[in-house]
Structure 1
Amino acid sequence: MRFALWITGLFALAVLVGLASTLNTGYAILFLPPYRMEVSFNLMIVLVVALIVATHLALRLLALAADLPRQVQRFQRQKKLKAARHALREAGIAYFEGRYQKAEREAAKSLDDEYAPENRALALLIAARAAGYAGAADKREGYLAQLDKMPERLQLARHMLDAELRLEEKDALGALAAIERARALSPNLTNALRLELKVRLLQKQPEAVLSLTEKLLKADALEPEQARRYRLAAYQQQLTGLLSEREVRDWLRRIPAPESGNPQLQQQVVAHLIRLQAYDAAATLLAEALAGDDMELPELARELGQLAAHLSVDKRLELLKDADAWLKQRPRDHWLLLALGRLALAQQLWGKAQAYLEASASIQPTLCAHAELARLFESTGKEELSQQHYQKSLELALSQGC
């Protein structure tokens, strides 16, 4: 439609020009001594228009010729810029592929001809991270130094990268300094809090770990399972600093029930109490775990059996009174039966000890069960039965060794 309108308009203009030329009968005189020329006024108009057009075209050609070097430079610069940004894309792809040497090489290649500060900062970040993974510490520090010259709005990424690199090198103080610089630029940055949480854990500062865990959990920056693991790690670090049975008891009262009932933490608390020679307290914790319906670690029952010889008489009798309740919940737990047999054996309750140990060996023959039975029969003067169980324990030891 537009083309048809243009054609129609051109034809109308041609008709108007033709009509105007027939109406105009004047002429123009061109005088250049000693010459004198008379031409039609219409022709004069055509010649003037043609001269203007020719002059315009000549000037355009001269301008293009004069601007040609600048256009060549611009073309070359655009070509180099295109190559630089292609190298930057290749660096990003290589980095996520795990090809860190190529990523660092391509990112460095893109720096020479890139002028946009955001792209230069991205190239330097990739190059520094890739150089760190490739083990080129000198190159990494060089890229980080170049990042220091970037505008302030790009410094947050530089400080966060620096914090991650320092944390990977176990440089807790350097990582904390970088985190503080990042938080000065963005106080509410949750990723900085996550990095600080890891640093505090590395520094063995459990109180700070617990505080940061709660902050991140409230900000939905940590999954509940992750928060649980961090809490347990903090509690484990606190445990190592407790020097008496009373301190351990007070500490356990301060821990929330979900964490204090964790089997792995309970096992470590028991081990710590044993190191403090607080055997009765360790046995009390093991008994509480055995009384629960969801005991996850059978090693707790085994630990109780190993404590039998160190416990007071009252504690052994107390534990043996609870035996029936434990066995109702776990009637085929051979480790529990072995523990009860050791308790009865230490208390010289020969009949009970024999019953528990034989039940344990019948469910799962173990070297420990047969060795304890051999010791029991030896103590009661039944040498033949004692030798039979010593033989069975020896056979089990040899089979496990092979």
Structure 2
Amino acid sequence: MKVVLWIVGLFALAVGLSLFAQINTGYAIVFVPPYRVELSLNMTLLLAVGLIAVSYGLLRLLAATLNLPHEVAVFQRRKKLRIARHALVQSSLAYSEGRFQKAEREALRACENEQSPENQGVALLLAARAAHAMRAYDRRDGYLARMDSLGNGLQLARRMLEAELLLDEKRTVDALAAVEAARAQSPNLTAALRLELKIRQLQSSPEHVLALTEKLLKSEAISAEQARRYRLAAYRDQLPQLIDGQELRQWWQRIPAQERQNPSLALAVAQQYAKLEQADDAAHLLQGLLEDDYSSELVSELGELADQVSEARRIELLRLGEALLPSHSRDAQLLLTLGRLARAGKLWGKAQSYFEASLSIQPTLAAHAELARLLQALDRADEARRHFDACLELALAEV
């Protein structure tokens, strides 16, 4: 329809011009001394239009000629930009495919042809990742160093990547410095807090781990269960630093009640009490846990403390064990612990019956050894020798 309208319009214009030329009988005189030229008005109009068109064309040609160097430069920049963007895409794809050498090469190519500092930074980050994957750490550090000249807007990304790669290399001190530089720019950046938490765990720095755990939990970056695991690990790391019984007691009271109910942590604390020759405190802690939740591991640890606890504590433990016995009569470890407590209290007959009951359920090296020691102390050498022989057989079977 448009074509038809254009054709009709052109014909109408032609007819109009033809009629105008027939009606217009005027003329124009161009006087340039000593010349005098007389032209029809129609011709004069045609010449004027033609002169304007030619002048316009010449001016456009002159402008295009003068602007040619700029156009060439723009063309070259666009060409380089196409090359850079293509190389950046290829580098990203190659890195994802595990072709790190190509990824590094294409990233450098993109960096050379890019004009934007942000895109140059992205290319250098890719090159650094690829070099790290190939263990070319000098080249990696060189690419990261080149980012210093690209402006402050890229330094957070540079520091975060640097920290991640250095942590992967187990250079915790340098990784921590990079994380601190990143946090100086963005103090509450969750990713930086996570990285620092990993570094502090590797450095066995429980105080920092606890502080970072609370920050991450408050920002909802980790779940409550994750936070609890991090706390428990930090508390275990703190234990060897506590070398005084009073200090250990104060530390234990500062821990949240929920964490004190954790059997593995409580067991570790009890073992630390035992190392500090605070056997009664260790036994009291284990006794409280056993009253809440029975565990053979806790019972076994109590048995190890039988010779170290005070007489009053030993009697309490013996009563607790005997109270637990009806519901755990087939637990060989409980019977062994009761035998150790009875032996330590010089209740020879009761100790022997407990050791024999433990052996009847599960013949273990520890039960044979305890019974052999008891019989030897009672001057029953022949019976003791049989249990010593049984210990040797079990030990050889485990080799």
Q: TM-score range by the shorter chain?
A: 0.7 to 0.9
* Cα distance change on mapping 1:395 and 1:12 into 2, 3 Å: farther
1:84 equivalenced with 2:84 (yes/no): yes
**Structure 1 counterpart of 2:229:** 229
**Structure 1 counterpart of 2:339:** 341
Q: CA deviation at 1:55?
A: 5.8
* Cα distance change on mapping 1:395 and 1:180 into 2, 3 Å: closer
**Structure 2 counterpart of 1:215:** 215
Q: 1:253-285 CA distances to partner (integer Å, 9 max, x unpaired)?
A: 111112122222223222322222222322222
Residue 309 of structure 1 is aligned with which of 307, 310, 318? Answer: 307
Q: CA deviation at 1:375?
A: 3.7
The normalised TM-score by structure 2 is: 0.82
Residue 369 of structure 2 is aligned with which of 365, 368, 371? Answer: 371
Q: CA deviation at 1:373?
A: 3.5
* Cα distance change on mapping 1:71 and 1:196 into 2, 3 Å: same
Q: CA deviation at 1:113?
A: 0.7
**Structure 2 counterpart of 1:128:** 128
* Cα distance change on mapping 1:355 and 1:24 into 2, 3 Å: farther
**Structure 2 counterpart of 1:264:** 264
SS across alignment from 1:243: coil
Q: CA deviation at 1:3?
A: 4.5
1:34-49 to 2 correspondences below 5 Å: 42=42, 45-46=45-46, 49=49
1:143-222 to 2 correspondences below 5 Å: 143-168=143-168, 174-222=174-222
State the alpha-carbon separation in 2 of the partners of residues 232 and 9 from structure 1.
89
* Cα distance change on mapping 1:46 and 1:337 into 2, 3 Å: farther
State the alpha-carbon separation in 2 of the partners of residues 223 and 378 from structure 1.
56
The normalised TM-score by structure 1 is: 0.82
* Cα distance change on mapping 1:109 and 1:351 into 2, 3 Å: farther
State the alpha-carbon separation in 1 of the partners of residues 17 and 219 from structure 2.
80
Q: 1:355-392 CA distances to partner (integer Å, 9 max, x unpaired)?
A: 43344334443332333334444444555654554444
* Cα distance change on mapping 1:171 and 1:352 into 2, 3 Å: same
- Equivalent residues of 1:217, 1:227 under 8 A apart: yes
Q: 1:309-341 CA distances to partner (integer Å, 9 max, x unpaired)?
A: 333333322211101333355444333332222
State the alpha-carbon separation in 2 of the partners of residues 338 and 382 from structure 1.
20
Deviates more, 1:253-262 or 1:330-339: 330-339
Q: CA deviation at 1:252?
A: 0.9
Identity of aligned residues (%): 55
1:96-115 to 2 correspondences below 5 Å: 96-97=96-97, 99-115=99-115
Q: CA deviation at 1:157?
A: 1.9
Q: 1:186-213 CA distances to partner (integer Å, 9 max, x unpaired)?
A: 3332333333444444555433432332
Q: Which runs of 5+ in 1 are unaligned?
A: none
Q: CA deviation at 1:166?
A: 4.7
Q: CA deviation at 1:86?
A: 2.3
The residue type paired with residue 289 of structure 1 is L
SS across alignment from 1:115: coil
**Structure 2 counterpart of 1:280:** 280
Q: Which runs of 5+ in 2 are unaligned?
A: none
Q: 1:67-95 CA distances to partner (integer Å, 9 max, x unpaired)?
A: 66654554443233222222222333444
* Cα distance change on mapping 1:378 and 1:93 into 2, 3 Å: farther
State the alpha-carbon separation in 2 of the partners of residues 252 and 6 from structure 1.
95
Deviates more, 1:78-87 or 1:200-209: 200-209
State the alpha-carbon separation in 2 of the partners of residues 42 and 354 from structure 1.
139
Deviates more, 1:381-390 or 1:365-374: 381-390
* Cα distance change on mapping 1:333 and 1:110 into 2, 3 Å: farther
- Equivalent residues of 1:290, 1:326 under 8 A apart: no
- Equivalent residues of 1:128, 1:144 under 8 A apart: yes
- Equivalent residues of 1:374, 1:385 under 8 A apart: yes
State the alpha-carbon separation in 2 of the partners of residues 359 and 15 from structure 1.
128
The residue type paired with residue 248 of structure 1 is L
The residue type paired with residue 131 of structure 1 is A
Q: 1:20-70 CA distances to partner (integer Å, 9 max, x unpaired)?
A: 233234567899999999876546645654565566556656665666665
The residue type paired with residue 399 of structure 1 is A
**What is the aligned length?**
399
- Equivalent residues of 1:293, 1:329 under 8 A apart: no
State the alpha-carbon separation in 1 of the partners of residues 157 and 76 from structure 2.
32
SS across alignment from 1:112: helix
Across the aligned residues of Structure 1 and Structure 2, the Cα RMSD in angstroms comes to 3.6
Q: CA deviation at 1:123?
A: 1.7
* Cα distance change on mapping 1:33 and 1:364 into 2, 3 Å: farther
* Cα distance change on mapping 1:188 and 1:53 into 2, 3 Å: same
The residue type paired with residue 232 of structure 1 is L
State the alpha-carbon separation in 1 of the partners of residues 15 and 131 from structure 2.
76
